[in-house]
Amino acid sequence: MPRDLAASREAILDAAEEAFADRGYDGASLQQIATAAGVSRGMPSYAFSSKERLYEAVLERAFAAPAALAREGRAPGGRDPRAVLAGLVGSYLEFLAARPTYVRLLQRAALEDGHRLGRAAAHLDALAQGVDALVELLDAADLRPVDPGQLFVSIVALCFFPLAHQATLLGPLGFDSHDPAFLAARKAHVVDLLLDGLAP
At 62-98, the pLDDT tens digits run: 999 888 888 887 755 556 878 888 888 999 999 999 9
How confident is residue 141, by pLDDT bands cut at 50, 70 and 90?
A: confident
pTM: 0.86
- The domains of the chain are located at 1-49, 56-198
- CATH fold label, 1-49: Arc Repressor Mutant, subunit A (1.10.10)
Between CA 5 and CA 193 the distance in angstroms is 48
pLDDT digits (tens, 9 = 90+) for 147-200: 999 999 999 999 999 999 999 999 999 999 989 999 999 999 999 999 888 887
Whole-number Å distance between alpha carbons of 104 and 47: 24
CATH topology of domain 56-198: Tetracycline Repressor; domain 2 (1.10.357)
